[in-house]
Amino acid sequence: MSDSEPQSSGPLRTDVTLAEFQQLIREMYFEKDDARGIEGTFMWLMEEVGELATALREGSEEDLSEEFADVLAWLTTIANVAGVDLTAAVNAKYGTGCPGCRELICACPDEGKP
């Protein structure tokens, strides 16, 4: 393997937890992400959201899968730069049910959030 070839630490898992994914993204990209900052990283996220919108309108299943993964990765990147633990944030907001009505199955009116 040459120095320019990517190195792998082993086989890719297919059942990564949110915490593991956030750590993986941190290990792969944090130095670049931190240097870019939240504002620059947010712009990349918005570009990926636009690509997801296009895939939702006219993309294949493969396009959708890739764009959802990209959006999640860039959102995770911003969380890393901002120092937010996504697992803790998700558990705090959604761990006991809908944040609006507090029910496990949302009973909020359709015209309101969520």
* Number of compact structural domains in the chain: 1
CATH of the domain at 23: 1.10.287.1080
- Residue 105 domain-assigned (yes or no): no
Range name among 7-11, 49-53, 82-86, 101-105 with the lowest pLDDT average: 7-11
Predicted local confidence at residue 45, as pLDDT? 96
- Residue 2 domain-assigned (yes or no): no
**Over the stretch 3-30, which tens digit does the pLDDT of each residue have?**
444 455 556 667 899 999 999 999 999 9
Question: Structural domain of residue 51, as residue ranges?
Answer: 18-83
- Residue 3 domain-assigned (yes or no): no
- Residue 50 domain-assigned (yes or no): yes
Q: How many whole angstroms separate alpha carbon 56 and alpha carbon 63?
A: 9
- Residue 104 domain-assigned (yes or no): no
Cis preceding linkage at 109, omega within 30: no
- Burial bucket for residue 106 (CB in 10 Å: 0-12, 13-18, 19+): middle
- Residue 28 domain-assigned (yes or no): yes
Q: What is the mean pLDDT of the chain?
A: 90
Determine contact, residues 52/70, Cβ cutoff 8 Å: yes
**Nearest in space to 12 (alpha carbons), one of 21, 4, 22, 3:** 21
Q: How many whole angstroms separate alpha carbon 36 and alpha carbon 43?
A: 10
pTM: 0.82
